[in-house]
Amino acid sequence: AVVSTQSTGPVSMGQGQEIHARRLLTQSMSQGGWVLLQNCHLGLNFMDELLQTITEPTGPVHETFRLWITTECHPHFPINLLQIGLKYTNEPPQGVKAGIKRTYNGVTQDQLDITNMPQWKPMLYTVAILHTVVQERRKFGPLGWNIPYEFNQADL
């Protein structure tokens, strides 16, 4: 595998972050680098401008320029922007065993050894079980839950 030394600039969209996104896009398109626009469903007003910026650039585009965007499903997200790119999805694993494995694969040895308290590892296991059960429960929808909530790896 080749290790990339490209600079990556992340911007979490929403609340006026369009200014930072424009600046980073302009810089990376001309000088090279990767741009990560996160939570694009929160910056829908900027998405049409983004589409025009990358499909009709005003100058030459550096060969190492790459644009990554993350978004949640949204009915008003521009379909054209999705159609011109590669799409990846991150689906939770199916089954309790696979869910616990995925959770534990994200835990480092340093996180396990962070404390000598005897309750730490059983508590971590309990949270992993709870998280996995909640993830599995999502497929049943709001049935039995008061308020639907999208649990994911960040909730751990």
Mean pLDDT for all residues in the chain: 84
pLDDT, tens digit, for every residue of 72-112?
Answer: 888 899 888 888 888 887 766 678 888 888 888 888 888 88
Q: Which pLDDT does position 141 carry in this prediction?
A: 61
* Sheet with 34-38, side-by-side order of all strands: 8-12, 34-38, 66-69
- Report angle CA 72, 81, 46 to the nearest 5 degrees: 75
DSSP 123: H
Q: Which pLDDT does position 156 carry in this prediction?
A: 64
Both structure tokens of 24: 């980073």
Are 155 and 148 a contacting pair, CB within 8 Å?
A: no
pLDDT, tens digit, for every residue of 37-86?
Answer: 999 999 999 999 999 999 999 889 999 999 999 988 888 998 888 888 88
